[in-house]
Structure 1
Amino acid sequence: MSTVAVAALLVASMLAIGTALTAGDFRMLLRRPAVLVGAVALNVVVVPGLAVVLTWLADLGPDAALGIVLAAAASGGGTGALLTLYARGDLAISAALQGIHAPLGLVSVPVWAAVGGHDVLPAGAGGILLVGVALVGQVVPLAAGMWLLQRRPDVARRVHQGARRVADVLLAVLVAFFVVTGAGRLPQLGWRTVAVVAVVVAACLALVLLPWPVPAAVRRAVAMTTTVRNLSLALFVASVASTTVVLTLLAYGLVMYGLSLPVAWWLARGTSPVAKS
Structure 2
Amino acid sequence: MKQNSGTMLHAGRTVIALLTAVILFGFASTAQSGEGIYREFMRISQGQGDAQLFAKINAAAKKLDWTGAQEIEFKGNLRLLKIEGATGEDAQIFMVRDVSGELHLLAPPPADAPDHTRANYAELEKKLGDKFIFKLLRVDGEVEGQAYSFVYLWEPPMRTALDRVFKICIVLMLFFVMVGMGLTLTVEDFRRVFQKPKAILTGAVLQWAIMPIVAVAMGRVLGFYEAFPFIFVGFVLITVSPGGVTSNLMTFYAKGDLALSISLTSFSTVLSIFFTPFFLTLFCANVPEVTIPVKLIVQTIIILVLIPLIVGMTVQAKAPKFAKKATPVFAALGIIALLFLIIAGVLSNLEVFSETERYGVKFYSGVFALTLLGMIVGIIFPKLLKISNYQVRALSLETGLRNASLAMALALLIQDNMGDFYSSMFITSAIFGLLMYVAGFLSIWVYKKLLPLDGTPEMEVKVKP
Q: Given the two structures, how large is their TM-score scaled by the length of structure 1?
A: 0.77
Shift of 1:45: 2.9
* Map of 2:312 onto structure 1: 142
- Say which structure is richer in helix: 1
Amino acid at match of 1:243: F
Q: What CA distance in whole angstroms lies between the structure 2 residues aligned with 1:104 and 1:4?
A: 26
> After superposition, what is the alpha-carbon deviation per residue over 1:190-221, rounded to whole angstroms, capped at 9, x for unaligned?
32233322222222244555564152345433
* Map of 1:159 onto structure 2: 326
Kept in 1: contact 2:285–2:292 (CA 8 A): no
Q: Which of 74, 81, 86 is 2:244 aligned to?
A: 81
* Map of 1:53 onto structure 2: 217
- Say which structure is richer in strand: 2
Q: Which of 206, 221, 231 is 1:67 aligned to?
A: 231
For the pair shown, the structure with the greater C-alpha radius of gyration is 2
Greater RCO (Cα-Cα under 8 Å, separation 6 or more) = 1
Shift of 1:164: 1.5
| SS of equivalent residue, structure 2 residue 334 | helix
Q: What CA distance in whole angstroms lies between the structure 2 residues aligned with 1:140 and 1:104?
A: 19
The total of aligned residue pairs comes to 265
Kept in 2: contact 1:204–1:227 (CA 8 A): no
- Verify: 1:221 aligned to 2:368, yes or no: no
Distance 1:220 1:233, change over 3 A: same
Q: Given the two structures, how large is their TM-score scaled by the length of structure 2?
A: 0.49
* Map of 1:249 onto structure 2: 425
1:192-271 correspondence runs (5 A):
192-207=362-377, 209-210=379-380, 212=383, 213-214=387-388, 215=391, 216-225=393-402, 230-235=407-412, 238-239=415-416, 240-244=418-422, 246=423, 248-264=424-440, 267=444
Q: What CA distance in whole angstroms lies between the structure 1 residues aligned with 2:291 and 2:413?
A: 10
Amino acid at match of 2:431: V
Distance 1:82 1:256, change over 3 A: same
Kept in 2: contact 1:14–1:82 (CA 8 A): no
Shift of 1:3: 3.0
Kept in 2: contact 1:12–1:163 (CA 8 A): yes
Distance 1:125 1:39, change over 3 A: same
Kept in 1: contact 2:224–2:232 (CA 8 A): no
Q: What CA distance in whole angstroms lies between the structure 2 residues aligned with 1:5 and 1:207?
A: 35
Q: What CA distance in whole angstroms lies between the structure 2 residues aligned with 1:118 and 1:128?
A: 23
> After superposition, what is the alpha-carbon deviation per residue over 1:151-206, rounded to whole angstroms, capped at 9, x for unaligned?
443x3221112212222222221232354336844624132233322222222244
Kept in 2: contact 1:113–1:120 (CA 8 A): yes
Distance 1:62 1:236, change over 3 A: farther
* Map of 1:272 onto structure 2: none
Q: Which runs of no fewer than 5 residues in structure 2 stay unpaired?
A: 1-162, 253-257, 446-459
* Map of 1:111 onto structure 2: 282
Q: What CA distance in whole angstroms lies between the structure 2 residues aligned with 1:226 and 1:257?
A: 8
* Map of 2:189 onto structure 1: 25
Amino acid at match of 2:182: G
Shift of 1:94: 0.6
Distance 1:242 1:264, change over 3 A: closer
Distance 1:39 1:188, change over 3 A: same
- Verify: 1:99 aligned to 2:270, yes or no: yes
> After superposition, what is the alpha-carbon deviation per residue over 1:72-109, rounded to whole angstroms, capped at 9, x for unaligned?
1455547x422134223422221221121232121211
Kept in 2: contact 1:67–1:238 (CA 8 A): no
Question: Percent of pairs identical after alignment?
Answer: 11
| SS of equivalent residue, structure 1 residue 86 | helix
Shift of 1:256: 0.9
Kept in 1: contact 2:372–2:400 (CA 8 A): no
Shift of 1:258: 1.5
Amino acid at match of 1:162: V
Q: What CA distance in whole angstroms lies between the structure 2 residues aligned with 1:156 and 1:229?
A: 23
Higher mean C-alpha displacement, 133-142 vs 203-212: 203-212
- Verify: 1:175 aligned to 2:359, yes or no: no
Q: What CA distance in whole angstroms lies between the structure 2 residues aligned with 1:137 and 1:254?
A: 24
Shift of 1:11: 3.2
* Map of 2:62 onto structure 1: none
